[in-house]
């Protein structure tokens, strides 16, 4: 196993998993899946269409990011008995959009392969883990807060756009939150989802016709082309996005929830997942912040692993039946998804702000938050990375005592 962290001595049995999956885990796991199957999925379809990908190539892309990553999530979560939600890099998906305007798809896929090999090398050597440990956690959490902030603001935007739908969902969420005894059987986030789905369906804005005649996906293998132009433009930004931005978010969220994610194993396995995804033309795997934030947002810490298993199993099914379910998810009212994601993210967002500003590195954390929220990419790398750079630089200049205590 090399330098990989050892598996848990108490890997869950089928009986334990069955015991630990209750209404809260089912509802929270479904919402965590739903996050990826709506807005982030729409990003894939948008980037693919602008880049000239065929329907078959897009179906392969969607299959890989859900089925392969769901399988990885299932394996890692079981092996380490803690939530380890692995999906795809959303900023990395956005990054390949402009590249597809002047590079061929096989050239972009060639960059996926090289990026995944680089991720494996950095993970196996331990360099990725050391770097993530070196960056102060309050600054990482402020980056997480900056990324998650827009999900919280989406509640307000949804209320402004469709008050009847979003307002009913917020009311259901608050009402169930007030009565914890009822919430044990009907989790607030699930109640909000049910109310939103009923309103959307009765108003004719939710169409289930796409589920008639289920069709399994037929993945297409893409032969990579390794060009200097694609490697120079994509490999380093993609690797930075996966290891520093995505894994940094996931590490911060899981650590703040009381877990100890095995970062070396995660980095190596996500690199392998990226290689498998590249076979059918999909972007690399990563430890995601929002999905893990949702997975750990409800229920006792000891059952978070069960929530992650629920998310993984639903994602795998979605990947296999992606031609059918993709159309259903994209027909869901935008306000329903905005309100649902925002409500589910509230507790995580609150914890992120508390962890960022309650102790040392608070000024560096503030700078990191501002740069991240500004959302201005530089050198094809997103603002979350530059937020970390700015936050650490300012903290080193103005908060040197905090660094001494950290060391």
CA 61 to chain centroid, in Å, comes to 16
Report the alpha-carbon distance of residue 216 to residue 12 in Å, rounded.
31
Q: What is the DSSP letter of 86?
A: E
Report the alpha-carbon distance of residue 201 to residue 385 in Å, rounded.
40
Residues in the chain: 407
Report the alpha-carbon distance of residue 98 to residue 142 in Å, rounded.
28
The residues that bridge with 378 in the sheet, in sequence order, are: 381
CA distances from 259 to 29, 34, 90, 178, 301 (A): 17, 23, 24, 28, 8
CA distances from 256 to 77, 103, 381 (A): 17, 40, 26
DSSP 3-state assignment of 350?
helix
Q: What is the DSSP letter of 66?
A: I
pLDDT along the chain (407 residues), means of 10: 80 95 91 80 75 84 94 97 93 80 91 96 89 83 84 90 94 89 77 89 77 78 92 86 88 92 94 96 91 91 96 94 72 81 81 88 94 85 85 92 78
DSSP 3-state assignment of 10?
coil
pLDDT at 352: 83
pLDDT at 275: 97
- Hey, where are the domains in the chain? 14-406
pLDDT at 329: 65
Report the alpha-carbon distance of residue 47 to residue 363 in Å, rounded.
36
Within 10 A of 354 (CB to CB), how many other CB atoms are there? 13
What's the pTM? 0.78
- The dihedral of CA 104, 107, 111, 117: what is its sign? positive
Angle of the 263-279 helix axis to the 127-134 helix axis, nearest 10: 120
DSSP 3-state assignment of 93?
helix
Report the alpha-carbon distance of residue 382 to residue 248 in Å, rounded.
14
Report the alpha-carbon distance of residue 144 to residue 349 in Å, rounded.
8
């Amino acid at each position: 196993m090399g330098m990989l962290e050892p598996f848990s001595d108490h890997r869950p049995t089928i009986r334990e998993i069955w015991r630990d999956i209750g209404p809260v885990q089912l509802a929270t796991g479904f919402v965590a899946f739903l996050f990826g199957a709506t807005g982030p999925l729409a990003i894939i379809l948008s980037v693919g269409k602008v880049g000239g990908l065929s329907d078959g190539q897009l179906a392969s892309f969607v299959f890989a990011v859900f089925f392969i990553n769901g399988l990885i999530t299932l394996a890692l979560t079981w092996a380490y008995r803690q939530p380890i939600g692995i999906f795809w890099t959303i900023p990395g998906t956005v990054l390949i959009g402009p590249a597809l305007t002047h590079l061929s798809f096989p050239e972009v896929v060639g960059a996926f392969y090289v990026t995944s090999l680089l991720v494996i090398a950095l993970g196996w050597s331990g360099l990725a883990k050391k770097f993530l440990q070196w960056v102060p956690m309050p600054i990482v959490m402020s980056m997480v807060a900056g990324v998650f902030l827009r999900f919280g603001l989406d509640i307000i935007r949804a209320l402004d756009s469709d008050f009847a739908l979003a307002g009913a969902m917020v009311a259901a969420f608050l009402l169930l939150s007030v009565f914890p005894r009822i919430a044990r059987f009907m989790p607030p986030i699930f109640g909000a989802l049910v109310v939103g789905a009923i309103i959307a369906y009765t108003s004719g804005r939710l169409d289930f016709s796409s589920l008639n005649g289920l069709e399994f996906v037929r993945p297409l293998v893409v032969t990579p082309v390794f060009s200097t132009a694609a490697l120079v433009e994509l490999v380093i930004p993609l690797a930075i996005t996966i290891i520093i931005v995505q894994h940094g978010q996931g590490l911060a969220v899981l650590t703040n929830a009381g877990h100890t994610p095995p970062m070396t194993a995660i980095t190596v396995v996500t690199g392998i997942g990226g290689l498998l995804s590249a076979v059918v033309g999909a972007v690399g795997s990563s430890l995601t912040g929002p999905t893990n934030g949702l997975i750990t947002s409800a229920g006792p810490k000891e059952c978070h692993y069960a929530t992650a298993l629920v998310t993984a199993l639903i994602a795998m099914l979605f990947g296999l039946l992606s031609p059918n379910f993709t159309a259903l998810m994209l027909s869901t009212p935008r306000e329903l998804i905005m309100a649902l994601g925002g409500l589910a993210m509230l507790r995580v967002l609150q914890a992120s702000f508390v962890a960022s500003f309650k102790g040392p590195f608070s000024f560096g954390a503030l700078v990191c938050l501002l740069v991240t929220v500004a959302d201005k990419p530089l050198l094809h790398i997103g603002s979350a990375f530059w937020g970390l750079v700015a936050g650490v630089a300012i903290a080193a200049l103005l908060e040197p005592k905090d660094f001494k205590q950290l060391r």
